[in-house]
A and B are shown apart, each in its own frame.
Chain A
């Protein structure tokens, strides 16, 4: 049974720092892995999608990597800004289901 874990559950850093969010999964047989951000009271915003055949994807200050063999993905945020404050979720597309991590709540202090 696929399980997805996100560490840390919460993170607070000063503005301008680079940071890494982690997502791990137990079954490497995945179709893709997705990263989302969730703002309070809002629907999810898709950030990056990494297909199982890919190793990383980049969008602006965001870079997501995927290592299927070790069951890990990281979301790297460069030069963090207060507007990056949100909860970040990863989800694994596995066996025609989306399995969700519990999220990392990120606070960027001005």
Chain B
């Protein structure tokens, strides 16, 4: 159990467009979801923490108006990269907690975003 999916797995878009990434907990209710990104040759870094039904908490340096997070249900959170630019090209990973072991984070497989 405790499976987290992400969609899409890869996306290529033009500069200036918006891209939505979905994160779903398939077999448990995720009270908290986390969004991370990893630039090439760098560590995975936390972007924001999202609790169902409330506004996301963003880490310092992450623009909340650029990276819109919605956690409308206990099984779905979305990250929308608005007006994407090439520097937003990265590997985005979500994780969810609230599964069999409530403190454990279960990770999605990631979404690779390339902005042309």
Contacts and interface: CB of A to CB of B under 8 A. Distances in A.
| A, B from the same assembly | yes
Interface stretch (B11-19, B67-75, B104-112): B104-112
Contacts, number: 47
Given A97-B110, A98-B93, A46 B44 contact: yes
Contacts of A42: 49
Contacts of A80: none
A44 B105 contact: yes
Interface residues of B, number: 23
B51 to A, nearest CB: 10
**Majority DSSP secondary structure for residues of B touching A:** strand
Contact of A44 (B42, B46, B112): B46
A100 interface: yes
Interface stretch (B22-30, B33-41, B80-88): B33-41
Nearest to B112: A96
Interface stretch (A10-18, A30-38, A67-75): A30-38
A77 B38 CA distance: 25
A98 B41 contact: no
Given A43-B49, A44-B34, A98 B43 contact: no
A34 B43 contact: yes
Contact of B103 (A31, A40, A43, A98): A40
Interface of A: 31-32, 34, 36, 38, 40-46, 49, 51, 87, 91, 93, 96-98, 100, 103
Interface of B: 32, 34, 36, 38, 41-46, 49, 59, 91, 93, 95, 97, 103-105, 107, 109-110, 112
